[in-house]
Amino acid sequence: MEIIELDPADGDLVSGAFDVMRATHAADTPENPAPHRAAFIAGLGYPPPDEDEAHFVAVEDGRVVAMLGIGMPNRANLHFAWAWINVHPDHRRKGIGSALVDHFIAYARERGRTELTLDTHMSWEGGLERSKAGQLFLERHGFKLALTWINRRCAVDALDADTEQALLEKAQAAAGDEYEIISWIGRTPEELVETMARIDSTILAEVPLGDLELEPETVDAELKNAKADRNEAMGMKMIQTVARYRGSGEVVANTCVIIHDDGEFPDAYQGITIVDKDHRGHRLGLLLKIVNLRLVRENFPHIRAIWTDNADVNAPMIDINVTLGYEIVDAGGEFQRKFEA
């Protein structure tokens, strides 16, 4: 078995890597959204502007049998590295996964990273039963659970029309007239880029991180636009709704849904929903999510479900999601291993 860095221009290896991803999904989490070939291929050639990425494949007898993806922040949190590993179901229990874990650790440590994470799907009460193999595997390699997130799915028409309208009206009443609700599809309007960059900069300070030691990253207009360029290159479309406080003109609450812009893929992904701490208590999160849900339904009728994950301790957002009809599918664990600097 040989571990090779994946060249985005090597069509055979890229196809082999995607086949491994597809087989892993079918064996382990078939109920969850399938990997998307076009987005995967485009993403290899257009890495995130705020991360250094590397991808490796394990090749045996000329065939790709496993894949390793590595990400390392390049602006803040330079101590951190994360990775994901897929081993084809027909090639497990042969030491391939262990070899890729060792490769990840060596690669990250050579670049000065001291906090490393890998994740795996797990079972959660009320959801599907998932194998414990991934969790036990990571624990054997010295990784400890640092953060648990719950994976939920919501049909776009989960609520009947009357219930949804009543929730919307209550949220509108709670918000009052102090906020302007603005929606768009695609790139952030240029006049909102600066204020959206400001609220994006608060994300890591506001979301639960468990035992992960991550500091907020300052997002500026240049980075915001660079991320939009990547989304377009990957065929990812943003459906976004925000609340702008009339008193300051600043965006103080934000939600988005992300879709593959191919007209057929039925699943969408709920992106971050965040409300500025000084503007909580006005039901802005619920208001924005209902408005955005309607935008998805009206413009993308092929979308049948929206998927989201939240830290198990994020009670306010979980309450909103349950109200909207999100149901537990499974959970995931972010497993951490620390090293001396």
Q: How many CB atoms neighbour CB 68 within 10 A?
A: 27
Alpha helix (H) ranges present in the chain? 11-28, 37-45, 96-110, 133-140, 161-175, 193-200, 203-206, 221-234, 284-299, 315-324
Tens digit of each residue's pLDDT (9 = 90 or more) over 27-40: 999 999 999 999 99
- Does residue 85 have a pLDDT over 90? yes
Comparing C-alpha atoms, which of 139, 105, 113 is closest to residue 52? 113
Report the C-alpha gap between 17 and 15 in whole angstroms: 5
Q: How many CB atoms neighbour CB 228 within 10 A?
A: 16
**What integer pLDDT is reported at residue 341 of this predicted model?**
85
- Overall average pLDDT of the 233-245 stretch: 98
**Tokens 């036990």, residue located:** 136
**What integer pLDDT is reported at residue 194 of this predicted model?**
97
What DSSP state is assigned to residue 282?
S
- Overall average pLDDT of the 196-220 stretch: 94
On average, the pLDDT of the chain sits at 97
- Overall average pLDDT of the 117-132 stretch: 97
**What integer pLDDT is reported at residue 257 of this predicted model?**
98
Q: 3 pairs with which residues across the strands?
A: 58
Tens digit of each residue's pLDDT (9 = 90 or more) over 40-83: 999 999 999 999 999 999 999 999 999 999 999 999 999 999 99
Comparing C-alpha atoms, which of 76, 69, 64, 68 is closest to residue 20? 64
Tens digit of each residue's pLDDT (9 = 90 or more) over 274-315: 999 999 999 999 999 999 999 999 999 999 999 999 999 999
Instruction: Kindly report the pTM of this predicted structure.
Output: 0.95
Element (H, E) at 122: strand 115-122
91 contacts 23 by C-beta, under 8 angstroms: no
What DSSP state is assigned to residue 265?
-
- Overall average pLDDT of the 206-211 stretch: 93
* Burial label, 140 (beta-carbon count in 10 A; 0-12, 13-18, 19+): exposed
